[in-house]
A and B are shown apart, each in its own frame.
Chain A
Amino acid sequence: MRNRHELALAIVVAAEVAVFAVVAPNFATGANAAEIVRLAVEVGLLALALTPVIVSGGIDLSCGALLGLSAITLGALWRDGGWPMPLAAAAALGVGLLGGALNAWLIAYRGLPALMVTLGSLSLFRGLAEGLTGAVDNYTGLPPSFLALGQGYLAGIPRQTPVLLLVAAGVAVLLHRATRGRAYYAIGWNAEAARHAGVKVANRLAELYLLSGLAAGLAAVIYVAHLGQAKADAGTGYELTAITAVVLGGAAITGGVGTIGGTILGLLAMVVLQNGLRLAALPAELAGILTGVLLMGALALGKAPGVRSPQSAVRSPQSELEMRNTQLAVLCGVILLGAGIVATSNWWLVRSLRPAALAPATTGATTPTARRVVIGMMPKAKGDPYFVSCRKGAEEAAAALGVDLIWDGPTELDPAKQNEVVEAWITRGIDVVAVSVENQAAISTVLRKARSRGIKVLTWDADSEPDARDFLVNQATPQGIGGTLADEAARLLGGAGEFAIVTASLSAANQNEWIKHIRARLASAHPKVTLAVIRPSDGDRDRAFAETQTILKVYPKVRVVMGIAAPAVPGIAEAVKQSGRTDVKVTGLSLPNMCKPYVHAGIISSIVLWNTGDLGYLTVVAGHALARGQLTRGATSIDAGRLGSIAIDKDQILLGKPFVFTRENIDDFDF
């Protein structure tokens, strides 16, 4: 039965590879295979250690959070504690073991349900990581020799691959070749029976949770080396991906069934799908949807190993029949799925290829300008309304210039995902990469790699390290923004009083830069205006709402609340409106459309922003010029279509001054 499940899964993986080899450029290359493995290592380590846990009938939801805690331990000991890197890495493994020990004690020796314990320790570990760093500290600037572990190559394969293979081999031997492995299966089938058979159930369970903790620690070390940063949110949600891989690989969540081979295939099925969709410039969300369907299908069709009650341990002849049906059904499912992928891909492909196919035909000879420029443009988060509005301008410019625009990125803020997308673009071989950088240290290495492959690199909205890109499309200087915001606060306060700031997250680089300039401007021009408190909103409207409610109660003298993240301002406005405090004014940095109702109602006095559509437009124009060789270092201006001539200061393309929107002019803008 298990072998059949693995066979079906192997066919799924093979089908994915076959489809993407046809529809996705550069998918079937050695370099891409290496990147797929690199991306899979951290989750892979967690999934490998999780397999015996699930086989024993348990679960570990806390592994992703433990990865985060281990990662910041490593960063803090190295940077603040001055520990040498190998010692700090060992300490990270130690934290993983400690966390695993807590789970092991509660589950194995106190007999508590694993689901509950690890749900609690998930909150505890993540909370400790957030509390210890104030969710602010981001440990970067790690030594290159350490980063090489996560970013370098060893004989053409990513450095971390041997680690993954060793762990896979080790766990496979433990589970499938050692006496202990039989004990884990026995416990998963029936813990009570295993006890009577002489298995030391508590000890066996304890070592599994220790192993899972250790794997989380190891994954943390590799994560930090891979991304070049350690932050409290490292590995958020990895536990769900890892569990999905294990269950997709045929392990029964109720215990007793599952193999390492299955887990590896399950993981491959997921990462290949994601990587392939990315290379084919198809929406990456499809990967999640297909994975979910696949999981549900595998579960429903292979339900024989999934269902277990003590009585069914002895298989009835009925289940024998079921197996053959299962096999047939899995195959049908795979064929359907493959057909589905091909159909959707073709539709997309035809749509995106049609103009490209026409171009050489019309020009005859292939000149460098005949090929359409492909620009990959990445926001910090696709869902953020600020970036949604940038995209409109970018698409306008792409249509006007005949550029193929690929708009992709994390749905929510996620530095790891940004790296993943750029890697995919490099493999795909596009002309220009334009990134709004979420984390400098994490992405600069990848951007340098892109430049070394001859891809032009732009940053827009937020910058990488200067040597990692050709130009920055700068929407406004931090001085300009900070100064304008400080002036607005002072104007609304009548020159004296207290105000509060609701920022994005406390670690956001842009926002911290603005706050620095707000403080500088206050000190130089508005000495009687004081900044009472800064609260985080994590770019979440509801969080900004709740924070503002609390600010208004705890700091009654605050007369102006300023939001400096687009979704925060409507949240603040709603809180002020609901408080009935007409003496409190709201201002900040946000999008006109989001704030219009509040501006008209007189709750928001003013908002400060550049024209976001123009920012997207200018980025694509600059990318196009860069790819065509019309824009080089040393230029002092660029002809930007409907924006006219735009000034360039060294390596920065300047959009212009920020704009103040008020009740009088806000209806003239739609973004």
Chain B
Amino acid sequence: MRPVRLALPALLALLALLAVLALLAPSFFAPDNLRDVVISNALVQIIAVGMTMVILTGQVDVAVGATAGVCAVLSATLAREGVPPVLAAMVATLAGGSIGLVSGVLVARLRLPSIVVTLALLVILRDGLRWATDGAWVGDLPVSFQWFGLGQGGGQTLLIGLTVAVIVAGAWFLRTTPLGRAVYATGSDAESAQLLGLRPDRVVMASFAACGLLTGLAAALNASRFAEVPGAITAGIEMKVIAAVVVGGTSITGGRGSIGGTVIGVALLGTIGTGLTFLGVSAYWERALQGAIILAAILYETVRRRRA
């Protein structure tokens, strides 16, 4: 019950937006449009599941955009050199996990502030990738790279299926497994968690690694939607992901929040852009609206807390 209440403002805003769309632009709800909206938000959604875990422990990872860029280019380069696409995607996922683990170790073992560690990592990865590729796209990919050779319909089903699987697995993990509960305990009060016999530093490391793994997976999946892979395309996505997680009711100071809320947050912020076009409003107001929604959501949170 509690997680739903945390995400209540986002849920209400989402329902209001959908109601307006239903009245003024019912064609938004055509099955193929809904499918396109889900697919174009899959990248943010999968990373947001990992980000939820990191933020629940009271940390933040601003390097996910740069990590995704590196992983996407890595998977495409491997595929071009003849590695089977599925294997390339797995390597990219592992690479993402390793980058996440590096942040996790630096944050947990050396007790460095996560925002600065991941900021430094962001700059290093982004400019390293620019240097290595000169910003050029990875092309000449085998036909089997796109949609993992499954073709249009099969690839889309795979992408949607994997996204749902990640959401369900993430929610199940956080709700029912001991490690999942330890994530909440660490974020609420790391010292108490330590006194209870938990290992907060390991929990933090694990959550960064999980976030990195999911970032790598999302990047590889997103790359496979197209026939060529640019490196810079995911730059700046960290802001979208963090915003979605927080709009979904997860507290930035850790300890409170849920995957369900994050899904609502992603759906809300991800629907605005397409929704505005369907309503005939200039898409350039999209970001202003997103910003207003983020501020309103966190403001509502304090009003509720004061009343309680």
Query: Least Cβ distance of B188 to chain A in Å?
Result: 15
B147 to chain A: closest residue by CB: A578
Beta-carbon contact of B284 and A292 below 8 Å: no
Q: Which residues of A contact B113 (CB under 8 A)?
A: 252-254, 299, 306
Query: Which residues of A in the span 128-143 have a Cβ within 8 Å of any Cβ on B?
Result: 128, 130-131, 133-135
Beta-carbon contact of B233 and A541 below 8 Å: yes
Known: A119-B294, A120-B294. A295 touches B123 (CB 8 A): yes
Beta-carbon contact of B243 and A381 below 8 Å: no
Q: Which residues of A contact B136 (CB under 8 A)?
A: 383, 385, 388
Query: Which residues of B in the span 232-254 have a Cβ within 8 Å of any Cβ on A?
Result: 232-233, 235, 239, 242-243, 246, 252-253
Beta-carbon contact of A112 and B299 below 8 Å: yes
Beta-carbon contact of A127 and B287 below 8 Å: yes
Query: Least Cβ distance of B278 to chain A in Å?
Result: 7
Judged by a CB distance under 8 angstroms, whether B282 is at the interface is: yes
CA of A88 to CA of B148, assembled, Å: 56
Partner of A130, one of B133, B152, B227, B287: B287
Partner of A578, one of B152, B243, B277: B152
CA of A254 to CA of B228, assembled, Å: 42
Beta-carbon contact of B278 and A540 below 8 Å: no
Judged by a CB distance under 8 angstroms, whether A113 is at the interface is: yes
Query: Least Cβ distance of B263 to chain A in Å?
Result: 19
Query: Which residues of B in the span 125-150 have a Cβ within 8 Å of any Cβ on A?
Result: 126-128, 130-131, 133-137, 139, 143
Q: Which residues of A contact B137 (CB under 8 A)?
A: 385, 594
Judged by a CB distance under 8 angstroms, whether A159 is at the interface is: no
Known: A125-B291, A134-B282, A306-B112. A292 touches B127 (CB 8 A): yes
B25 to chain A: closest residue by CB: A554
Judged by a CB distance under 8 angstroms, whether A325 is at the interface is: no
Judged by a CB distance under 8 angstroms, whether B271 is at the interface is: no
Q: Which residues of B contact A287 (CB under 8 A)?
A: 127
Interface residue stretch chosen among B2-10, B74-82, B114-122, B203-211: B114-122
Judged by a CB distance under 8 angstroms, whether A465 is at the interface is: no
Q: Which residues of A contact B112 (CB under 8 A)?
A: 299-300, 303, 306-307
Known: A243-B119, A388-B136. A383 touches B294 (CB 8 A): no
Interface residue stretch chosen among A177-185, A431-439, A542-550: A542-550
Q: Which residues of A contact B117 (CB under 8 A)?
A: 296, 299
Known: A111-B302, A120-B243, A253-B115. A106 touches B120 (CB 8 A): no
Query: Least Cβ distance of A240 to chain B in Å?
Result: 7
CA of A382 to CA of B40, assembled, Å: 27
Q: Which residues of B contact A128 (CB under 8 A)?
A: 288
Query: Least Cβ distance of A127 to chain B in Å?
Result: 3
Query: Which residues of A in the span 248-271 have a Cβ within 8 Å of any Cβ on B?
Result: 252-254
Beta-carbon contact of B274 and A119 below 8 Å: no
CA of A306 to CA of B225, assembled, Å: 42
Beta-carbon contact of A131 and B111 below 8 Å: no
Beta-carbon contact of B124 and A292 below 8 Å: yes
* Most A-side CB within 10 Å, residue of B121, B286, B295: B295
CA of A385 to CA of B135, assembled, Å: 8
Query: Which residues of B in the span 92-112 have a Cβ within 8 Å of any Cβ on A?
Result: 106, 110-112
Judged by a CB distance under 8 angstroms, whether A523 is at the interface is: no
Q: Which residues of A contact B233 (CB under 8 A)?
A: 540-542
Query: Which residues of B in the span 49-79 have a Cβ within 8 Å of any Cβ on A?
Result: 60
CA of A622 to CA of B234, assembled, Å: 38
Beta-carbon contact of B282 and A131 below 8 Å: yes
Judged by a CB distance under 8 angstroms, whether B84 is at the interface is: no
Query: Helix, strand, loop or mixed for chain B's interface?
Result: helix
Total A-B pairs, Cβ < 8 A:
214
Judged by a CB distance under 8 angstroms, whether A527 is at the interface is: no
Q: Which residues of B contact A110 (CB under 8 A)?
A: 299, 302
Beta-carbon contact of B135 and A382 below 8 Å: yes
Judged by a CB distance under 8 angstroms, whether A313 is at the interface is: no
A542 to chain B: closest residue by CB: B233
Proximity bits, B215-234, A CB within 8 Å = 1, else 0? 00000000001111011110
- Of the four ranges (under 10, 10 to 19, 20 to 34, 35 or more), the interface on chain B belongs to 35 or more
B280 to chain A: closest residue by CB: A554
Q: Which residues of B contact A383 (CB under 8 A)?
A: 130, 133-136, 230-232
Judged by a CB distance under 8 angstroms, whether A597 is at the interface is: yes
Q: Which residues of B contact A574 (CB under 8 A)?
A: 225-227
Beta-carbon contact of B298 and A292 below 8 Å: no
Judged by a CB distance under 8 angstroms, whether B290 is at the interface is: yes
Judged by a CB distance under 8 angstroms, whether A349 is at the interface is: no
Judged by a CB distance under 8 angstroms, whether A22 is at the interface is: no
Number of interface residues of A (CB under 8 A): 77
Known: A383-B232, A541-B226. A131 touches B246 (CB 8 A): no
Query: Least Cβ distance of B248 to chain A in Å?
Result: 12
Known: A106-B295, A112-B298, A113-B253. A570 touches B120 (CB 8 A): no
Judged by a CB distance under 8 angstroms, whether A341 is at the interface is: no
Beta-carbon contact of B242 and A119 below 8 Å: yes
Q: Which residues of B contact A254 (CB under 8 A)?
A: 113
Q: Which residues of B contact A545 (CB under 8 A)?
A: 226
Proximity bits, A102-134, B CB within 8 Å = 1, else 0? 000010001111011101111111111011011
Beta-carbon contact of A127 and B127 below 8 Å: no
Beta-carbon contact of B124 and A123 below 8 Å: no
A536 to chain B: closest residue by CB: B283
Judged by a CB distance under 8 angstroms, whether B172 is at the interface is: no
Beta-carbon contact of B135 and A121 below 8 Å: no
Beta-carbon contact of A117 and B291 below 8 Å: no
Q: Which residues of A contact B116 (CB under 8 A)?
A: 247, 253, 295, 299, 306
A293 to chain B: closest residue by CB: B124
B276 to chain A: closest residue by CB: A550
Judged by a CB distance under 8 angstroms, whether A155 is at the interface is: no
A240 to chain B: closest residue by CB: B119
Known: A127-B285, A134-B284, A295-B119. A300 touches B110 (CB 8 A): yes
Partner of B127, one of A135, A289, A571: A289
Q: Which residues of B contact A495 (CB under 8 A)?
A: none
Known: A111-B302, A123-B288, A306-B113. A116 touches B282 (CB 8 A): no
Partner of A289, one of B124, B278, B286: B124
Q: Which residues of B contact A571 (CB under 8 A)?
A: 226
Beta-carbon contact of B298 and A120 below 8 Å: yes
* Most B-side CB within 10 Å, residue of A127, A243, A244, A307: A127
Beta-carbon contact of B123 and A570 below 8 Å: no
Q: Which residues of B contact A630 (CB under 8 A)?
A: none
CA of A577 to CA of B156, assembled, Å: 13
Beta-carbon contact of A123 and B294 below 8 Å: yes
Known: A127-B288, A383-B135. A550 touches B277 (CB 8 A): yes
Q: Which residues of B contact A240 (CB under 8 A)?
A: 119, 122-123
Beta-carbon contact of A130 and B288 below 8 Å: yes
CA of A133 to CA of B288, assembled, Å: 12
Task: List the 7 closest A-B pairs by CB distance, nearest first.
Answer: A383-B135, A127-B288, A124-B291, A288-B127, A127-B287, A123-B291, A120-B294
In addition to A124-B294, A130-B285, 14 A-B residue pairs with Cβ atoms within 8 Å of each other are A117-B295, A244-B119, A254-B113, A288-B126, A292-B122, A293-B120, A293-B124, A296-B120, A303-B111, A306-B111, A382-B135, A546-B274, A549-B33, A593-B139
List 12 interface pairs A-B (beta carbons < 8 Å), by A numbering: A120-B298, A126-B287, A130-B288, A240-B123, A285-B127, A288-B123, A288-B130, A300-B112, A303-B110, A549-B40, A554-B277, A571-B226
Task: Give the interface of A toward B (CB within 8 A).
Answer: 59, 106, 110-113, 115-117, 119-128, 130-131, 133-135, 240, 243-244, 247, 252-254, 283, 285-289, 291-293, 295-296, 299-300, 303, 306-307, 381-385, 388, 411-412, 536, 540-542, 545-546, 549-550, 553-554, 567, 570-571, 574, 577-580, 593-594, 597-598
